[in-house]
Structure 1
Amino acid sequence: MNALLIIIVVVAVVLLFTGGLVNSLQFLLWVGFVLILIALVMFIVRAFSGRKGA
């Protein structure tokens, strides 16, 4: 699950930079925010669940 979380964060950061720099692709900014929120929720759920994933 750590690999998935890292991939989501990397994609979100790339989309945030792309959406911020290119006006015609402004929707990518919102996609980046959504992906960061998903990654944050996954991290919080994993931290509070107490399970040790492989």
Structure 2
Amino acid sequence: MRVSARSVQRWRQAWDGGGQRDLRSQGPASQRRLSEKTTADATDARASPGTTTGTC
């Protein structure tokens, strides 16, 4: 397993401080880049190959 020594130190400190409760995931490290609506719109656009946008 490729794990940095610093990660192991953080996990060990969390375990010593609060046990399994403190080792639980806190969620994603960053926010989503696209909103749910934007993702749905992009998916819909890909599903409809006959439509185009813009002018030629």
Same fold at TM > 0.5:
no
Higher normalized helix content (fraction of residues):
1
Instruction: Tell me which structure has the larger Cα radius of gyration.
Output: 2
- Could you say which structure has the greater relative contact order, defined with CA pairs below 8 angstroms and 6 or more residues apart? 1
State the TM-score, normalizing by the size of structure 1. Answer: 0.30
Q: Report the TM-score, using the length of structure 2 for normalisation.
A: 0.29
